[in-house]
Amino acid sequence: MDGRRDAEDLQGDAIALATAGRARARAAGRSRGFRSARRLEAITGVALILPALFWISLLVAYPFAMALYYSVSNTVVGGGSGTFVGLANFTALLDDGSFRQTLQNSVVFTVSAVAAKAVLGVMLALILHRTLRLKRLIRGLVLLPFVIPTALSTLGWLWMFDSLYSVITWTVNRVVLGPIGFAPLEVNWLGSPALAMAAVIVVNIWRGLPFFAVTVLAGLTAIPTEFYEAAEVDGAGRWGRFWHVTYPLLKPILAVVVLFSTIFTFADFNIVYVLTRGGPQESTHLFATLSHALAFGSMQLGRGAAVSLFMFPVLVVVVALQLHYLQRDETRHA
């Protein structure tokens, strides 16, 4: 409790200082022709942003418009522009069992993977923050899964989950179950819907954990030690310090990482494509893999585009709200 109050006091001081400084500078600015300075600032602002705007809109605007058009047309790959069919693709999807299954899979996959990455990531970051032995080496090692190209590292996992050669099954049977006299486990990791879903989630966690851990670690490094000292003086325990000092200060960074991670996870393609191709049956299909199957297996570009854009409006709203919240949060703190 007290730790938190201290933290807020300190922040409050910082804000007061900053505001005073800005007010002084503003006053100075106003006296030297506020209006023209404002206009110059706007022109500079737009000029600086133009290269990025130009690059992105040149290359993304047209494809994006086309993808939007595909989703309301019956275009097939290489078949010209097709004809306008309104929302027929979307209604057909709602009527399609495999799409509804995909929708459910995507939610399960994204929510569990992101939640696990967030919890494990914070735990790992807390440990890394305190660990001193071989700090550099360990922090470097933790980043490895992020560095190996997914297209290739997922193949490593495919070999690990193999129905015959699985190193996981082997180790469990020979190293754990065998010596204590239990019957060997007969398990086909990618062969049943629940296990296959768990497997693709685990690989996603493996791949994404470093990003979480290191980003959160960075956030921890930035928390001034005084906050903890103040909390300690107030007699807060380890958990209390985490809950009243660390967590509130980590919230903004967590929000950003969760946002990025949700988007990446939701759009994940490689893991499922390599490990299960959507199977067994349709139990692991995600939006990206289903859309890929439709667009490249049978050239139904319109339907494929509808799949991949189905959640777009929802995502845009969520992201816009979250970004808005973050920016407002910032202006309040700045």
Partner 1 sequence: MPRVRRGGAFRLFVVDHVGLVPFLLFILFPIYFMVVTAFKTDRELYDLQAIPFWIRDGVSLGHFHHLFFKTNFWRWLFNSLVVSFVTMTVSVAISIFAAYSLARLRFPGARSFGIGVFITYLVPPTLLFLPLTQIVNWLGLIDSLWALVLTYPTFLIPFCTWLLLGYFKVVPREIEECALVDGCGRLGVLFRIVLPIAVPGIVCAMLFAFTLAWNEFLYALTFTSASVTKTVTVGVAAEMIRGDVFHWGGIMAGAVTGALPVVVMYVFFLDYYVVGLTAGSVKG
Partner 2 sequence: MAITRRRFLSTTGAAAGAASMGWLAGGVAPAFAQRRTLTALALSLFVPSGDERLTQIMQEFGKQANCDVRFDTVKVTDVPIKLAAEATAQAGHDLVNVWEAFGYLHRNNLANIEDVIDDVGRRYEVYPGHKATFHIDGHWKVAPWYWLSFVGTYNTKHFKAANLQTPKTWDDLRKVGAELKKRGAPVGIAISNCTDSILSWRTVMWCYGAKEVEADGKTIAINSPKTAEFLDYAKRLYSDAMTSEVLSWDDAGNNRLILSGKGGWVHNPVSIYLAAKDKDMPITGELGHHEGLAGPAGRFAGTFHHGLGIWKFSKNVDLAKDFLRFLYQEDKFNSWIAAAKGFCMSPFKKFEGHEVWRKDPNLTLLPKEGPFTRPQGWPGPPTQYIAAMDSKYLLPNMIAKVVGGTPIKDAMTWMEGEMQKIFKETL
The residues in 164-223 that bind partner 2, with binding defined as CB under 8 A, are 164-165, 188-192, 196
150 binds partner 2 (CB under 8 A): no
**Long-range contacts made by residues 324-328, C-beta under 8 angstroms, separation at least 24?**
325/255, 326/252, 326/255, 326/256
Binding to partner 2 (CB under 8 A): which residues in 281-310?
A: 281-282, 293-300, 303
* Residue 276 is a binding residue for partner 2 (CB under 8 A): yes
Instruction: Report the partner that residue 280 touches, choosing among partner 2, partner 1, none (CB closer than 5 to 8 A by kind).
Output: partner 2
Q: Is 267 in the site for partner 2 (CB under 8 A)?
A: no
Q: Which of 3, 208, 219, 278 binds partner 2 (CB under 8 A)?
A: 278
Contact residue for partner 1 among 93, 124, 201, 272 (CB under 8 A): 124
Q: Is 34 in the site for partner 1 (CB under 8 A)?
A: no
Is position 253 an interface residue for partner 2 (rule: CB under 8 A)? no
CB of 167 to partner 2, least distance (A): 14
179 binds partner 1 (CB under 8 A): no
**CA angle, 301 then 303 then 306, to 5°:** 105
* 162 sits near partner 2 (criterion: CB under 8 A): yes
Q: Which two tokens stand for residue 242?
A: 């985490």
Decide: helix, strand or coil at residue 135: helix
Residues 290 and 203 sit within 8 Å (Cβ to Cβ): no
Could you count the other beta carbons within 10 Å of the beta carbon of residue 157?
21
Residue 248: closest CA among 10, 17, 15, 8 = 8
Restricted to residues 69-108, the positions that interact with partner 2 (CB under 8 A) are 74, 76-79, 92, 95-98
Only one residue has tokens 């290269």, namely 51
Q: Is 162 exposed, middle or buried (0-12, 13-18, 19+ CB in 10 A)?
A: middle
Site for partner 1 contains 140 (CB under 8 A) = yes
CA angle 155, 159, 160 (to 5 degrees): 115
Provide the binding-site residues for partner 2, judged by CB under 8 A. 74, 76-79, 92, 95-98, 158, 161-165, 188-192, 196, 276-282, 293-300, 303
